[in-house]
């Protein structure tokens, strides 16, 4: 801890607090190694990273964020909370410009301290801020960076399982950083996973029905909901309960049929083993997203709406994978994407690192 000067508290969470700090003595080889120190031993975990995505090493006076995870008396007997361990492990395996960087990890005064990149705000605060105008270029830039991160995670066989605007941080240059990997899991070995993951508003229908075998489509659904929220400036599917969430999905996307979801139980049938919580919320034709955006006077391009519709698809098997989304025609023009990033930087020009907004 003596290698960092703690400057100010910028946020608080369920398991601890977040502080802005200045690096006094940079850790050894921080770009490619995460060092986890305990009272008994220390070990290094190699980071698998593409050379094009490796950041410049942390140097003296680098401003960073310290996330202190409190260890209760019960945790001293049972160990650190498993979500914190999962986040440390996952961030140690991922190194991408659009994923929050874990510089190092150590223990200090009965707390586990994570040294992370410092960001100035998050996408949720941007969406809720009426003084910020989000143009189509801004939304395209956000989605491009988000999908690049998701493509990288899925190519590493990792599901995030909690993508939402609050977990998309933004640095002073307008670069999106995916964070909060407490629910992340590896996938692809036909193992069973819990359906009780992903915040309800961004949870796909198959998880609401209790599916325990799924893949990257669940993250793509969440990205589609974030996409819609960036356009509407309000949550797309804000259910109050699981039943209400299912009904809102039916109302917005239409009730599933044998054509849109093969092998789905019919109304009145008993739930299957694959979908133990299946319930039929009624017959709804669905509401075209374009109509919702026009009614709310939110501009949106037809190509962008087509992409969002393909991401928020009822049948998870036919949802586009991350690599297909990134290659969609909406993202094809590289010059346009560069212009998006330049335009985005103007939005955050006043958000300097020494003026970090508190994280609620």
Catalytic machinery residues: 162
Residues whose CB is less than 8 angstroms from the CB of residue 208 and which lie 6 or more positions away in sequence, other chains included: 195, 242, 245, 246, 249, 277
* DSSP state at residue 43: E
* DSSP state at residue 274: S
Residues whose CB is less than 8 angstroms from the CB of residue 85 and which lie 6 or more positions away in sequence, other chains included: 79
* CA dihedral over 179, 124, 148, 185, signed as positive or negative: positive
Of 53, 140, 31, 64, the residue nearest 98 (C-alpha): 53
Confirm if 351 and 357 have CB atoms less than 8 A apart. yes
Report CA 250 to chain centroid distance, whole Å.
Answer: 24
- d(Cα 290, Cα 297) in Å, to the nearest integer? 10
- d(Cα 275, Cα 279) in Å, to the nearest integer? 9
Give the CA dihedral 137, 138, 141, 147, nearest 10 degrees: -120
* DSSP state at residue 185: E
Residues whose CB is less than 8 angstroms from the CB of residue 232 and which lie 6 or more positions away in sequence, other chains included: 292, 293, 296, 298
- d(Cα 219, Cα 164) in Å, to the nearest integer? 10
């Amino acid at each position: 801890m003596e290698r960092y000067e703690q400057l100010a508290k910028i946020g608080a969470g369920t398991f601890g607090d977040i502080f802005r700090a200045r690096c006094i003595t940079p850790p050894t080889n921080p770009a490619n190694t995460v060092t986890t120190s305990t009272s008994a031993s220390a070990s290094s975990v190699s980071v698998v990273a593409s050379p094009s995505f490796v950041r410049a090493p942390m140097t003296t006076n680098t401003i960073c964020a310290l996330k202190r995870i409190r260890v209760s008396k019960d945790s001293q007997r049972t160990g650190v909370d498993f979500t914190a361990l999962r986040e440390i492990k996952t961030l140690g395996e991922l190194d991408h410009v659009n994923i929050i960087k874990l510089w190092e990890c150590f223990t200090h005064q009965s707390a586990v301290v994570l040294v992370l990149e410092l960001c100035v705000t998050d996408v949720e605060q941007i969406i809720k801020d009426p003084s910020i105008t989000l143009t189509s270029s801004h939304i395209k830039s956000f989605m491009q960076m988000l999908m690049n991160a998701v493509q990288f995670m899925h190519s590493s066989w990792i599901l995030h399982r909690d993508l939402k605007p609050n977990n998309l941080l933004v640095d002073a240059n307008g670069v999106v950083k995916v964070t909060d990997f407490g629910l992340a899991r590896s996938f692809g070995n036909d193992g069973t996973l819990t359906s009780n993951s992903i915040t309800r508003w961004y949870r796909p229908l198959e998880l609401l029905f209790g599916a325990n075998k799924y893949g990257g489509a669940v993250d793509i659904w969440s990205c589609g909901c974030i996409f819609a929220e960036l356009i509407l400036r309000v949550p797309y599917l804000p259910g109050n309960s699981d039943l209400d969430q299912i009904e809102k999905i039916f109302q917005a996307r239409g009730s599933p049929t044998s054509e849109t979801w093969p092998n789905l139980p019919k109304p009145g049938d008993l739930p299957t083993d694959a979908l133990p919580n299946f319930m039929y919320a009624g017959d709804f034709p669905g509401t075209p997203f374009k109509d919702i955006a026009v009614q709310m006077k939110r501009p949106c391009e037809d190509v962008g709406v087509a992409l969002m519709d393909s991401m928020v698809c009822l049948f998870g098997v036919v949802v586009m994978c991350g690599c297909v989304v990134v290659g969609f025609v909406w993202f094809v023009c590289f010059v346009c994407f560069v212009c998006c990033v330049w335009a985005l930087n103007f939005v955050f020009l006043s958000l300097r690192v020494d003026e970090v907004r508190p994280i609620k």
